[in-house]
Structure 1
Amino acid sequence: MSYAVDFTDVSTVGLESSPVADALAGLRANEARYFKNKYDVTFTTEPAAVAKEIVDWVAKVLKEERDIVISSPALEATELHVEGIRWAHVFYEGGLAVNVLYTLDDGGKRAVGFKLSEGMEVPEELSGFKFARQKSKLAGTIRGSYFVIKGEH
């Protein structure tokens, strides 16, 4: 079942199994607010089992680019196409959100972003990254990092 993320009334729908469900819901709502404000797009997620193609594509990018395999199960995913950019997001049970920004035109920006929900530890597979802190009214303190995608996906 699809879920249109509401950033005014934050809900843990679809994220209940996460030990940091409230913080992860705030993180997801923060993403929804960004896309609504910047692109006037509704951020709609689907269960990972339904959005398997998106989850698999993100996993493939992580594996091929940096040999990263996320150990936590994926709970939800979404993909948006706005202004020539493919945005894929996957939300993991451990509290991690991964987004892939992939400009469809050659020479455009392409990167993977990691955001950690408040209260979660840095997963072992991401221990080599430095995380910057950002305050969010919806998500508390978000720790984020990224890397630039070099290959074609």
Structure 2
Amino acid sequence: MPYAVDFDTVSTAGLESSPVAPALAGLRANEARYFRNKYAHVFAVEPAGDAPEAVDWVHHILDAERGIVISSPALEATTFQVENIRMAYVFYRSGLSINVMYTVDDGGKRAVGFKLSDGMDVPDELASFKFARQRSKLAGTIRGSYFVIKNEY
């Protein structure tokens, strides 16, 4: 069952098996705050096993576009639409967060974003990407990268 992520009181619920659970929880809360402030959307996640469509969609795009297979198990996932943008998020035990931003209108922006929790090493499958740093009150230092989606999904 999906539950709303609280960005006022950061909780590691659902992420306890991650070695960087507090940082991953902060990263998840950071995303929740962004969607609340920008779109008035309540960011809700559920266990990855309960959201196979979201996980499969993200993994299919990664594999089809770049041949990337994530080795870490998925812990939580969500998919939703805000305005004309379909969004999907998957949070992994390693501390990785992957999101897909897919504008449903033809010619819109479509990209896959990677964010690494504070204290997480860059996974081997993402070693070719350059990561920029940003500070977050909720998540500490977030390192992020992305690539543009070229095909239709």
TM-score (norm 2): 0.99
Query: Could you give the per-residue CA deviations for residues 68-122 of structure 1, whole angstroms, max 9, x where no partner exists?
Result: 0000000000112011100000000000000000000110000000000000100
Query: Matched residues in 1 for 2:92 and 2:52: separation?
Result: 13
Aligned length: 153
- Give the CA RMSD over aligned residues: 0.5
- Could you say which residue in structure 1 is the equivalent of 2:105? 105
Query: Matched residues in 2 for 1:144 and 1:30: separation?
Result: 13
Query: Could you give the per-residue CA deviations for residues 35-93 of structure 1, whole angstroms, max 9, x where no partner exists?
Result: 00000010000100000110000000000000000000000001120111000000000
The answer as to 2:59 corresponding to 1:65 is: no
The answer as to 2:89 corresponding to 1:85 is: no
Flag structure 2 segments of 5+ consecutive residues without an equivalent: none
The answer as to 2:135 corresponding to 1:135 is: yes
What is the CA distance between 1:3 and its match in structure 2? 1.8
Query: Matched residues in 1 for 2:88 and 2:53: separation?
Result: 10
Q: How does 1:1-153 map to 2 (within 5 A)?
A: 1-153=1-153
Letter in 2 for 1:83: E
Q: Which portions of structure 1, spanning 4 or more consecutive aligned residues, are displaced by more than 6 angstroms?
A: none
Query: Matched residues in 2 for 1:14 and 1:4: separation?
Result: 12
